[in-house]
Amino acid sequence: MASRGRAPAASCVLEVPGPIQVRVLPNGGAGDGRLVEVPEAPTAGAALAAALCGHLPWAERGEEPFFVSERAVVFAPNRGNLDSAAMHAALQEEERLFVVPRHRQFVHPAGEPGRSVQLQVSGADGAPVVLTTLSSSPRVFHVSNLLEGEHMDRLMADARPKFKRSTVGEAPEAAKGIHVGGELFDKAAKTSTRTSENAWAMTGDAAMTMKRRSLEMLGIQTETGGYDERLADGLQVVRYLQGQAYHDHLDHMQDFDPLWNYNAWRPPDVNGSNRIATVFLYMTDTPLGGQTVFPLAQRVLTEGSRRMLTDNASRSGDELARAMEAALGGSGWEVSMARRCFEKLAVFPRRGDAIVFYSQHADGRVDQQSLHGGCPVLEGEKWAANLWVWNAPRKGTVAASNNELHLTFTLARGAGLAALVRWVPADGQQGNQVGKLQPGGPGVAVKTFESHRFDVFKASEDGEGDALRRLGTVVASTRRGRVQTWVVSDGGVELQGGSAEATVPAKPEL
Ligand SMILES: O=C(O)CCC(=O)C(=O)O
Ligand SMILES: [Fe+2]
């Protein structure tokens, strides 16, 4: 990318910056986008958004977007820099600029494997953090210059006396009470599919530096525009000894997960929260094995990625087989995994290298392609630091009142019918009945949360309550107020006192 000649010339005459053009694309988009001129006259907020991306359906839910440049600079009203002057100062000629809907997060564009981008993020010893694409589906990047050697040494030294056998579905001790509830921690179980050891690093310079840089590198936007602790789990220092591994898994919370059930709470694609990305930093050179494998990704070797993906390639098949036998014995899931690890897209652990991969698409849907695992360590040890990053504050870190709503369903006056109200889980399963409406009877009141769905059915009047016909669906949204009354009649379900706009079902424009 050519940089504009903005530096003062040898004389005292300042070079006046000329107009600058950027390439505007939707969040996560591929390709070159559309060349648009950043207005020279001072332009800010909605006017700037319209000038830059009028050609895109950008006003999702009527909200102005924010912008993130390819080099991870966020331009947003709450950062005080959604204006043309700030863009002129920070952007390079023809830099790609992504339009991110207000309630989503920027997702780095993948591009071709091997493509590198130097971010405007200062990393280890002031060097810029560099992302290199390893795979576009799932989105996996190699990261250079994330953390200083001293910071890694500190993380390792602090973790050493604290290591415990890793569990799955656990959360840091220090976060107790801010996650789903105590139950979660009691149920965290040792498992045979994750045989490593781990220790949490919640505070301290090294952990904070890695957390801040990771969020910066991802271009994560927060409510205040500043760093927000609630957008990541604690930093986890992980150690795998010879033979240890972490079976293929997904990092985001699953719908069917009995402990978390995050998606049912608020799916990420309707502004809920879940893990969006994982930053994984290798802190040791592992002589053999210990790769992070992505079995569903395509393995493309390029000049830029060969070293990261073929590190142990000089070992012959026989040598590998002998090493596997010595480290793992003859059977078990670790043996078949170890073999796959030398065939699939797999990143070799090299001290100071990191990877970042996404568990969600740009539109918030979870990405099931992001399946990955920690390959068995065949020789030596593997030490790493792992950060799970969320697209919105983790469940339990948002005061319940922030998205709590009180809905009352009531029969229209004179409506001679009975009705049932059912809550519909996000997974589309059969709804749970929350109440019944009968002529002359009381309304049905529910306390619920943003995006929860309720179906209202006409019911047989004998009170047996068979659902006969669906009269309407209400999707809870605080945009229509925190206390709402919905009136049920044969003709449908309507918000009492609602304006025409308010009763239109929330429908994203994108
Ligand atoms: O050890 C690895 O390479 C991957 C670890 C991992 O997937 C995790 O900690 O979530
Ligand atoms: Fe993982």
- Buried residues in 440-478 as b, exposed as e (16+ CB within 10 A): eeebbebebebbbbbbbbbbeeeeebebeeebbebebbe
- pLDDT at position 432 is 72
CA dihedral of residues 395, 398, 399, 405 (deg, nearest 10):
-80
Instruction: Name the residue with the closest Cα to ligand 1, atom 2.
Output: 374
Q: What is the mean pLDDT of residues 27-46?
A: 92
Confidence check: pLDDT of 282 > 70: yes
361-to-207, 311, 364, 419 alpha-carbon distances in Å = 27, 29, 5, 39
The CA distance from 299 to 279, in Å, is 20
pLDDT tens, residue by residue, 59-97? 665 678 999 999 999 999 899 999 999 999 999 999 999
The answer to whether 238 and 197 have CB atoms below 8 angstroms apart is yes
Residue ranges of alpha helices (H) inside 249-316 are 262-265, 306-309
- pLDDT at position 171 is 40
pLDDT tens, residue by residue, 204-220? 899 999 999 999 999 99
Q: How does DSSP classify residue 13?
A: P
Q: What is the mean pLDDT of residues 138-144?
A: 98
Residue ranges of alpha helices (H) inside 363-429 are none
Confidence check: pLDDT of 134 > 90: yes
This prediction's pTM = 0.73
Question: 268 CB under 6 A from ligand 1?
Answer: no
Question: 386 CB under 6 A from ligand 1?
Answer: yes
Closest atom, ligand 1, to C-alpha of 198: 9
**Mean pLDDT value across the chain:** 83
Run of H or E residues at 457: strand 453-459
Q: How confident is the model at residue 224 (pLDDT cuts 50, 70, 90)?
A: confident
Q: What is the mean pLDDT of residues 150-171?
A: 80
The CA distance from 50 to 34, in Å, is 14
Question: 275 CB under 6 A from ligand 1?
Answer: no
Closest atom, ligand 1, to C-alpha of 290: 3
Question: 357 CB under 6 A from ligand 1?
Answer: no
Q: How does DSSP classify residue 40?
A: S
More confident of the two residues 182 and 8: 8
pLDDT tens, residue by residue, 328-387? 998 889 999 999 999 999 999 999 999 999 999 998 888 999 999 999 999 999 999 999
The CA distance from 228 to 234, in Å, is 12
ipTM for the predicted complex: 0.99
- pLDDT at position 261 is 46
Q: What is the mean pLDDT of residues 302-314?
A: 84
- pLDDT at position 501 is 37
